[in-house]
Amino acid sequence: MKLRLDISEDFYREEERDGFFISSTMKRVWAVELDLLAKLMDVCAKNNILFWADAGTILGAVRHKGFIPWDDDIDIIMLRKDYDKLCKIASKEFTHPYFFQTEKTDRGSLRGHAQLRNTETTAILEVEKNYKYKFNQGIFIDIFPLDNLFKNEIDLDKQCKEISLLRKKYIRYSHWTKERYVTPNSLIKKILKGLAFYLINPFVKAFFDPHKIYKKYEEELSKCKDESSEKVAKLALGNFEKRRIWKRENLKEAIYMPFEMLKIPLPCGYINILNTFYGDWQNYKIATSTHGKVFFDTERTYKYYIYEK
């Protein structure tokens, strides 16, 4: 595992944090994600792009000075205008092993937001492991856009319902057009699935093209063009919740806090954000590990598991 970020060998040692055991294997996953974050920070600084930590990454920085011990990912967020700017410059700024993934750069990924990945590693979602999707499935960090919100509740409600509907559609139809990658447990099932795929797939693509639906979905996300709107939200998740609404005043400046060996930007209103989203976030119980939801390999590229294994 070769990383650009200089990480001491001590970091990789297994340890217990806040009563939770962290293996050296998970430490290596964290290291790849920290390397991705460091690269993103450099690119954003170079191109005057503002971003902040989001969700569990904010909580981790404030409460643990790094990863939440039972967490396995990094979430980043930025205003739509900066997100669009990052998407435009990504192909020049991120070269191998870094890969900036959106539906435009990696057709079929259909995540609803961007992910920065390390191509020489593996992070395959458990729910997708049997599909052998060909899009990049290296270890990643999530990058979300913050979109403007309509002041009118009726307009906002209508927009959110349309976003949710379009998201469900493109996910459903994209699965229909990818079924050929599933490996059935018998030869007969394999033949039948193959025939069904080649008979149905052209029809689905002609009348329910998931990529056309996804384009409409992206347009709906940024429908509100009012840059002076008091509130913004991570609409790209598709499941709109009021606790995910951020007041723009919470984003006036960034406050840098330690996150493992890095210092990362948090929204200046991070306390308000944590209180709204998590409630009593200072008192916590050890949660069920989320590590089992993703298959990680820091030593092998995802291509090994898709094309060779």
* Boundary residue ending a domain (189, 223, 257): 223
What value does the mean pLDDT take over residues 156-165? Answer: 92
- Residue 199, pLDDT score: 63
* Residue 143: predicted pLDDT: 98
CA atoms within 13 A on the CB side of 130: 7
Are residue 141 and residue 167 in the same domain, yes or no?
A: no
- 1 within a domain of the structure (yes/no): no
**Same domain for 170 and 304?**
no
Q: Are residues 63 and 141 in the same domain?
A: yes
Would you say residue 236 lies in a domain? no
C-alpha span between 80 and 170 (Å, rounded): 21
In this predicted structure, the answer to whether residue 173 has a pLDDT above a threshold of 90 is no
| DSSP conformation class of 289 | P
Residue 108: its pLDDT value, please?
A: 82
Q: Do residue 182 and residue 290 come from a single domain?
A: no
Residue 3 lies in a domain: no
Q: Are residues 205 and 182 in the same domain?
A: yes
Residue 16 maps to which CATH number? 3.30.460
Query: Would you state the structure tokens that stand for residue 244, as one six-digit string?
Result: 């995910």
- Whether 82 and 158 map to the same domain: the answer is no
Has residue 172 got a pLDDT over 80?
no
Lowest mean pLDDT of 109-123, 207-221, 224-238, 282-296, name the range: 282-296
Q: What is the mean pLDDT of residues 223-244?
A: 89
- Which domain, by its residues, includes 51? 9-147+248-308
Residues 42 and 87 grouped into a single domain: yes
Whats the size of the chain, residue-wise? 309
User: Is residue 17 located within the same domain as residue 108?
Assistant: yes
Give the pLDDT confidence score for residue 90 in this predicted structure.
98
Contact (Cβ atoms closer than 8 angstroms) between residue 69 and residue 17? yes
pLDDT tens per residue, range 52-90? 999 999 999 999 999 999 999 999 999 999 999 999 999
For the chain, give me the number of helices (H) and strands (E)?
A: 8, 13
Q: What pTM did the predictor assign?
A: 0.89
Q: Structural domain tally of the chain?
A: 2
For the ranges 25-29, 71-75, 193-197, 219-223, the lowest mean pLDDT is seen at 193-197
For residue 8, which amino acid is it? S
Same domain, residue pair 255 and 134: yes
Q: What is the pLDDT of residue 26?
A: 96
DSSP H or E run through 141: strand 139-148
239 contact partners, CB below 8 Å, separation of at least 6: 164
202: cis peptide before it, omega within 30°? no
**Residue 175, burial from CB neighbour count under 10 angstroms (0-12, 13-18, 19+):** middle
Average pLDDT score over residue span 89-117:
94
Question: Tell me: the pLDDT tens digits for 122-153?
Answer: 999 988 888 788 899 999 999 999 999 999 99
Residues 142 and 111 in one domain: yes
Residue 197's pLDDT band, with cuts at 50, 70 and 90, is: low
At residue 48, the pLDDT reads 98
State yes or no: pLDDT of 306 exceeds 60. yes
* Cα separation, 170 vs 104, whole angstroms: 15
Domain assignment present for residue 239? The answer is no
Cα torsion 234, 114, 94, 29: sign: positive
Residues 102 and 19 in one domain: yes
